[in-house]
Amino acid sequence: MKLSERIHYVGVNDDEKSLFEGLWPLPSGVSYNSYLAVDEKIALIDTVEHGFEDEFIAAIAESIGDRNIDYLVVNHMEPDHSSLITYIMERYPDLQIVANAKTLPMLKGYYAVPEEKVLIVGENDEVSLGSCSLRFHMIPMVHWPETMVTWLEEEKTLFSGDAFGTFGCVDEEVVDNDGTFEEYRDEMIRYYSNIVGKYGNPVQTALKKLSGLDIRRVCSTHGPVWENNISKVVSLYEKLSRYEVERGVCIVYGSMYGNTAAAADALAMELEARGIPYAIHDLAGNNSGELGVSGALRDVFKYDTVAVGSPTYNNGIYPPVETFMKALSSRLIRNRRFYAFGSYTWSGASVRQLNELAASMNFEVLGEGMSFPQAYTREKCDMAAVAELLR
């Protein structure tokens, strides 16, 4: 579909895949966005994931008929955007790939692209399409080291790669309306926290670099095209990349026989009674909510306090909770308060170990936590006092 006379959307929706990167649940699917810049010359900006060859080539044909594609701009090499490079090269054998020096070895390694097919560009370099030009800005680590964005000044349009992307398919309009930001906000935070959350500083660097552009349209690789909510989307990225949060508690727990779960539920009730915002995530096996660690990470990026519950298991932390703690640690999250709780049968170790992990992440550990023997009871676990501590 046409976003303007010169910019056409040729992306696809994937509502079949259940896990993005084999890890992150997709209850509403995901889109792989690709765009055509159509002028005297034509540039295709990124491709889509394999499996969508027919739909992709049909969208391109509908857009440009039998005209040739002159350039394929590779903003980002993750295979959700690059895996049809070979397919496109076979159909448009004369096209030149436009990429930067860090992309080149990846093009060779993934798709055996010959070096002579690649036009290497650097910061601020331009490629003319005739009446308009593409300009390139490097934004390393948003999301991989080779990542760049493409700016089309004449359309005030930023092809932003993964930046400003979100989980969730796009509707037929593709372009956002006034309500789109709120509709996608949670999934955008989940996408950011799951995929880009480790790279707060590079995101900050990228935002500073792009702040001088008069952006009127953001064409990300995932989710809606942003025209009407750009300031909200950029503000959200500012906030997330600074690890800024709201007052509230993200309760995350795993439980084998329901005792740590009962403590988590009791804490949630006490928070509710005090009007303290909270979210609660059960990570254990069959009890796991549909979003699991993915949803828990999202809410750690929303709230300033993390309360983690784990029974003692093999003299350590219950494995699903340990996985969550590792995911927290790898995201270099700052400025969080932390509270640990959990049951044990003959020797408590999980709460102490959780606190040690939290301290190693420079979280503010609130007291010793609550390690209680065997069954949960209100007498053993004063969750009202815990809620006051977390207030």
CB 143 to ligand FEO: min, Å: 4
Query: How much is the CA Rg of the chain, to the nearest whole Å?
Result: 24
Q: Is 80 in the site for ligand FEO (CB under 6 A)?
A: yes
Q: Interface with ligand FEO includes 33 (CB under 6 A)? A: no
The CB-of-133 to ligand FEO minimum distance in angstroms stands at 25
- Going by C-beta distance under 8 Å and a sequence separation of 6 or more, which residues neighbour residue 58? none
Which residues, including other chains, have CB under 8 Å from residue 235's CB and lie 6 or more apart? Answer: none
Residue 321 backbone phi and psi in degrees, to 5: -75, -35
Q: Bridge partners of 120?
A: 99
Which residue, 24 or 363, is less far from ligand FEO as judged by CB? Answer: 24
326 vs 190: CA distance, rounded Å: 17
Residue range at the interface with ligand FEO (CB under 6 A); choices 78-86, 272-280, 295-303, 366-374 = 78-86
Task: Supply the DSSP string of 188-213, one letter for each residue.
Answer: HHHHIIIIIGGGHHHHHHHHHHHTTS
Of residues 143 and 190, the one with the C-beta less far from ligand FEO: 143
Q: What is the DSSP letter of 346?
A: S
Strands 246-253 and 303-309, bridge-based pairing = parallel
Per CB under 6 A, the list member of 8, 143, 281, 298 interacting with ligand FEO is 143
Tokens of 8: 């056409």
CB of 80 to ligand FEO, least distance (A): 4
State which of positions 47-66 bind ligand FEO (CB under 6 A): none
Q: In whole angstroms, what is the distance from residue 188 CA to residue 196 CA?
A: 11
Mask for 102-141, x = binds ligand FEO (CB under 6 A) = ----------------------------------------
- Residue 221 near ligand FEO by CB under 6 A: yes
Decide: is 76 part of the binding site for ligand FEO (CB under 6 A): yes
Among the listed ranges 60-68, 76-84, 166-174, 182-190, the one in contact with ligand FEO (CB under 6 A) is 76-84
Measured from the Cβ of residue 81, the count of other Cβ atoms closer than 10 Å reads 24
Exactly one of 78, 146, 187, 270 binds ligand FEO (CB under 6 A); which one?
78
46 is a contact residue toward ligand FEO (CB under 6 A) = no
Select from 9-17, 77-85, 256-264, 334-342 the region that touches ligand FEO (CB under 6 A): 77-85
Give whichever of 30 and 291 is closer to ligand FEO, judged by the CB atom.
30
Residue 190 or 222 having the CB closest to ligand FEO = 222
Cα 339 to Cα 381: distance, rounded to the nearest angstrom: 14
Smallest separation, CB 19 to ligand FEO (Å): 14
- For ligand FEO, give the closer residue by CB, 136 or 199: 199
- Report the alpha-carbon distance of residue 298 to residue 300 in Å, rounded: 6
* SS3 state of residue 104: helix
Q: How does strand 71-73 pair with strand 96-99? A: parallel
x/- contact string, 144-173, with ligand FEO (CB under 6 A)? ------------------x-----------
Part of the chain binding ligand FEO (CB under 6 A), chosen from 75-83, 256-264, 325-333, 370-378: 75-83
Q: Which residue is nearest to ligand FEO (CB)?
A: 78
Beta strands 71-73 and 42-45 are parallel
Q: How far is the CB of 202 from ligand FEO (least distance, A)?
A: 13
Question: Which alpha helices (DSSP H) does the chain contain, by range?
Answer: 53-64, 79-82, 85-91, 103-111, 180-191, 200-210, 230-241, 259-273, 292-300, 319-330, 350-360, 383-390
Which residues contact ligand FEO by CB under 6 A? 76, 78, 80-81, 143, 162, 221-222
